[in-house]
Structure 1
């Protein structure tokens, strides 16, 4: 072996030793760490959505997922002959649906609700605007998430005013307020409250 070949062999040996010392192991086989996680939060599979269907009126409610409000398709039952046009009955059905615990498939997708059961809705009191809704508890006593869920759900329903806002108040003489559902509320319901304006009585 001549001098040039000898030096090349020594250099190759030194390079291999240096790589080994750095913890680098050469390989011709690509390393496979497996596929990237594919589970997408706040999205249910088609079979899961189909399992939610049933007899009743199709509706959308806002649930909490990943600290945001996300619409979920539900089927609600509205009793009464004038169910399709009864604003109070529709609002009550949607409120009851919000208070219903998410199904197993919804929980698996990350959905939750902060609306508690037992809250009832009634129509306008004397002197209230005709599109006002009265809750059995003052809206300001609801949690931030629960209030945002109710406002955004009702804003897209027949329970809303003509401008898609929601006029709500508590029982008796509790002040009425006009609430709006905005993109900011939907994206950050825990920190951004629905825009609100006090509604003067029509007395």
Structure 2
């Protein structure tokens, strides 16, 4: 009996030594899945804003990065024709938001949820003079897209004096005055821009 116990103990010791020599630890799960993913910096490196022409202006637009809104510098081409200066600026910024991020922006983790094809016009009859009418009603936009648009326009010459923006859909759509807050910029997917109804006078 003692001989059997001795042989079993020796076999166990040899097995443990073999496992250790192979680098295997029976109590751990292998976790070698390659290098750890790099953290999204939301900061771009490279040249700044390019030289501008008479129809181009430097501006900041809000893109999505790490589930937040972060500004990036852009050179924006303003249309020569439009219903009003405010509408022209808003259209230029909207088109810029809808453009795919550049390679440096993609590398830094930036994205946009704004889709192209939406046009902007000035106030309809009876609207406040600072109203902007979208071909797509703002309430039909995604949460991220609406936050991007509101925060970008509120920080531009298209905004009202109090840095809010009055937006609506086509002429029969109701108007709302939107604001961009710190909470919206930090959680655009879950916190909607504060909005209040605006009387269009109709």
TM range (shorter): 0.7 to 0.9
Question: Which residue in 1 is equivalent to 2:69?
Answer: 69
2:155 maps to 1:124 = no
Question: Which residue in 2 is equivalent to 1:8?
Answer: none
Question: Which residue in 2 is equivalent to 1:161?
Answer: 160
* Matched residue SS, 1:112: coil
Question: Which residue in 2 is equivalent to 1:95?
Answer: 94
Question: Which residue in 1 is equivalent to 2:60?
Answer: 60
Pairing of 1:1-203 with structure 2 (within 5 A):
41-45=41-45, 47=46, 49-50=47-48, 53-55=50-52, 56-80=56-80, 86-203=85-202
Change (3 A) 1:143 1:40: closer
The whole-number CA distance in structure 2 between the counterparts of 1:145 and 1:119 is 16
CA contact (8 A) 2:134 2:169 kept: yes
* C-alpha distance after superposition, 1:170-202 (max 9, x if no partner): 002100000000000000000000000000122
* C-alpha distance after superposition, 1:142-197 (max 9, x if no partner): 00000000000000111111110000000021000000000000000000000000
* Matched residue SS, 1:92: helix
Question: Which residue in 2 is equivalent to 1:5?
Answer: none
TM-score by length of 1: 0.76
* C-alpha distance after superposition, 1:18-71 (max 9, x if no partner): xxxxxxxxxxxxxxxxxx9986510011x2x43x52422100000000000000
Question: Which residue in 2 is equivalent to 1:17?
Answer: none
Change (3 A) 1:159 1:107: same
The whole-number CA distance in structure 2 between the counterparts of 1:145 and 1:40 is 18
* C-alpha distance after superposition, 1:110-131 (max 9, x if no partner): 0000000000000000000000
CA contact (8 A) 2:81 2:88 kept: no
List alignment gaps of at least 5 residues for structure 1: 1-35
Question: Which residue in 2 is equivalent to 1:18?
Answer: none
The whole-number CA distance in structure 1 between the counterparts of 2:97 and 2:142 is 14
Question: Runs of at least 4 residues of structure 1 off by over 3 A?
Answer: 36-40
The whole-number CA distance in structure 1 between the counterparts of 2:150 and 2:79 is 22
CA contact (8 A) 2:183 2:191 kept: yes
* Matched residue SS, 1:167: strand
Shift of the alpha carbon at 1:137?
0.8
TM-score by length of 2: 0.76
